[in-house]
């Protein structure tokens, strides 16, 4: 027993699956205290899209800290905040013709979701929120009320109210046109569904099993919300910041949500930071009506601005990511091939393999760790192996990771995997 086991709460989680002491990291490699190397297909659950200790972000951060500049400032004005806002406007909002106000809601994804739900209720004067099966939006009470996972919901200890769950795209595996369910419920005054303030959706369900909504489904949802005067919130906490190949995950569907939640990789460096974006006409907050001590952390502004300026000024980074996406999906298809019922799930660099046999994905993740690869599972039963490499990973490292994953899958399932040319 070490101090992590004797002193730290039983609630700890990742350190149980990956029982080592991580000491250093660079790019897509972590090093244990014992000197072992681990390749990273986890990326801090999406908080490290640009890898660990990326020098492009580390240098400005160190310079900033050594300069005596402001670190903590609540939502006061600082040069670091100015530069972040200017970069976000210049490289993200303007080129995409997005007219959003930017709110700093507190440093985590769930803070962004809480602010989005609160604002939607305030704007519409309605209480009800619609969410989707297998959604995950965070661990505070409002976010849990729109989260699907029963174990996580039970942890609330109070009734989770004012929200209803609707079938996500593919919930009925194509046997029932699931989208009609929502349309009928909204259009039939006898459905018993209170008119909602908002619908909250992930374009790819990062925690809920890597189901990815089709662009046509998202377009239908946006249209339905528009017709019924319901606000559309896209929770891009995990799928955003380039993870699916474009900065926002909803770009492929060409929809414009009313409210967008961003966190995880928005600071670029793994520093806590979150944004809630919304159309200007929704900005009816009174000053200080939603507050918090850690809203706008200057070191995170510095690394966040550096990431936007370095990676998002033009299309070169997106082209690199597109190459990685092709390579990852090729590799995952080959790993899934030959296993009855196995299938590739997800979109972009938020993808994995679904295994119908209970426990298979968990065993593959454990075997991968033993072979030096960090990879986690997703889904209510951990039935999907989830590959989330850094967007900055080299093709060689991606190949290495896929090789380890293929070897682990072969060892667990007994089905040979021949990885062909994924580089």
Ligand X SMILES: Cc1ncc(COP(=O)(O)O)c(C=O)c1O
* Closest to ligand X by CB, 108 or 298: 108
* Closest to ligand X by CB, 265 or 397: 265
Strands (E), 272-342: 275-278
- Smallest gap from Cβ 137 to ligand X, in A, equals 5
- The DSSP 8-state label assigned to residue 157 in this structure reads -
| Binding positions for ligand X, 87-146, rule CB under 6 A | 108-110, 113, 136-138
Of 213-221, 234-242, 375-383, 395-403, the segment contacting ligand X by CB under 6 A is 234-242
* Closest to ligand X by CB, 220 or 270: 270
Q: How many C-beta neighbours within 10 Å does residue 177 have? A: 10
- Smallest gap from Cβ 111 to ligand X, in A, equals 7
Alpha-carbon distances of 298 from 82, 163, 267, 272, 377, rounded to whole Å? 10, 35, 10, 10, 33
* Closest to ligand X by CB, 138 or 196: 138
Of 13-21, 75-83, 232-240, 328-336, the segment contacting ligand X by CB under 6 A is 232-240
Residues 65-104: b if buried by 16+ CB within 10 A, e if exposed: eeeeebeeeeeeebebbebbbebbeebbbeeeebebeebb
Of 202-210, 278-286, 385-393, 411-419, the segment contacting ligand X by CB under 6 A is 202-210
| Binding positions for ligand X, 1-60, rule CB under 6 A | 45
How far apart CA 338 and CA 187 sit, in angstroms, is: 44
Residue with tokens 């600071």: 267
- Smallest gap from Cβ 142 to ligand X, in A, equals 11
Contact 108, 275 (CB under 8 A): no
**How many residues sit in the footprint of ligand X (CB under 6 A)?**
15
C-alpha 410, offset from chain centre: 28
- Smallest gap from Cβ 210 to ligand X, in A, equals 11
Which residue has its beta carbon closest to ligand X? 109
Among 145, 203, 238, 298, binds ligand X (CB under 6 A): 238
Strands (E), 251-301: 259-262, 275-278
Among 146, 210, 237, 300, binds ligand X (CB under 6 A): 237
> Nearest to residue 345, comparing CAs of 155, 162, 210?
210
- The DSSP 8-state label assigned to residue 288 in this structure reads T
- Smallest gap from Cβ 265 to ligand X, in A, equals 11
How far apart CA 322 and CA 169 sit, in angstroms, is: 24
Among 169, 207, 376, 383, binds ligand X (CB under 6 A): 207
Among 54, 133, 263, 368, binds ligand X (CB under 6 A): 263
Residue 108 tokens, joined: 């985590």
* Closest to ligand X by CB, 307 or 406: 307
Residues that bind ligand X (CB under 6 A): 45, 108-110, 113, 136-138, 202, 206-207, 235, 237-238, 263
């Amino acid at each position: 027993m070490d101090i992590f086991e004797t002193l730290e709460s039983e609630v700890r989680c990742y350190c149980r699956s990956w029982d080592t002491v991580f000491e250093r990291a660079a790019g897509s490699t972590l090093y244990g205290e014992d000197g072992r190397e681990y390749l990273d297909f986890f990326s801090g659950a999406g908080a490290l899209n640009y890898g660990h200790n990326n020098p492009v972000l580390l240098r400005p951060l160190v310079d900033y800290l050594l300069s005596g500049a402001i670190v903590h400032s609540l939502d006061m004005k600082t040069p670091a905040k100015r530069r972040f806002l200017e970069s976000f406007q210049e490289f993200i909002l303007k080129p995409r013709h997005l007219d959003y106000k930017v709110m700093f809601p507190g440093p985590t994804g769930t803070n962004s979701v809480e602010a989005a739900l609160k604002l939607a209720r305030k704007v519409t004067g309605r209480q009800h929120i619609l969410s989707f099966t297998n959604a995950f939006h965070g661990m505070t009470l409002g976010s849990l009320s729109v989260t699907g996972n029963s174990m996580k919901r039970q942890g609330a200890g109070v009734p989770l109210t004012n929200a209803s769950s609707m079938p996500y795209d593919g919930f009925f595996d194509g046997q029932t046109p699931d989208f009609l369910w929502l349309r009928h419920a909204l259009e039939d005054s006898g459905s018993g569904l209170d008119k909602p303030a908002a619908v909250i959706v992930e374009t790819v369900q990062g925690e809920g099993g890597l189901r990815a909504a089709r662009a046509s489904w998202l377009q239908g949802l946006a249209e339905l919300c528009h017709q019924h005067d319901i606000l559309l919130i896209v929770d891009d906490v995990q799928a955003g910041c380039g993870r699916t190949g474009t900065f926002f995950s909803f770009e492929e569907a060409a929809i414009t949500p009313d409210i967008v939640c961003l966190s995880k990789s928005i600071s670029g460096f793994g520093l806590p930071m979150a944004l809630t974006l919304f159309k200007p006409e929704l900005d009816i907050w009174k000053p200080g009506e939603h507050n918090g001590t850690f809203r706008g952390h200057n070191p995170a502004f510095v690394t966040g601005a550096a990431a936007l300026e370095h990676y998002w000024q033009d299309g070169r980074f997106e082209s690199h990511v597109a190459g990685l996406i092709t390579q990852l999906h090729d590799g995952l298809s080959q790993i899934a091939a030959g296993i009855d019922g196995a299938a590739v799930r997800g979109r972009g660099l938020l993808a994995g393999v679904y295994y119908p046999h209970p426990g298979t994905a968990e065993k593959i993740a454990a075997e991968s760790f033993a072979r030096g690869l960090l990879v986690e599972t997703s889904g209510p039963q951990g039935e999907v192996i989830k590959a989330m490499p850094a967007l900055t990973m080299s093709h060689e490292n991606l190949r290495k990771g896929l090789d380890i994953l293929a070897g682990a899958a072969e060892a667990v399932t007994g089905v040979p995997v021949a990885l062909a040319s994924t580089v």
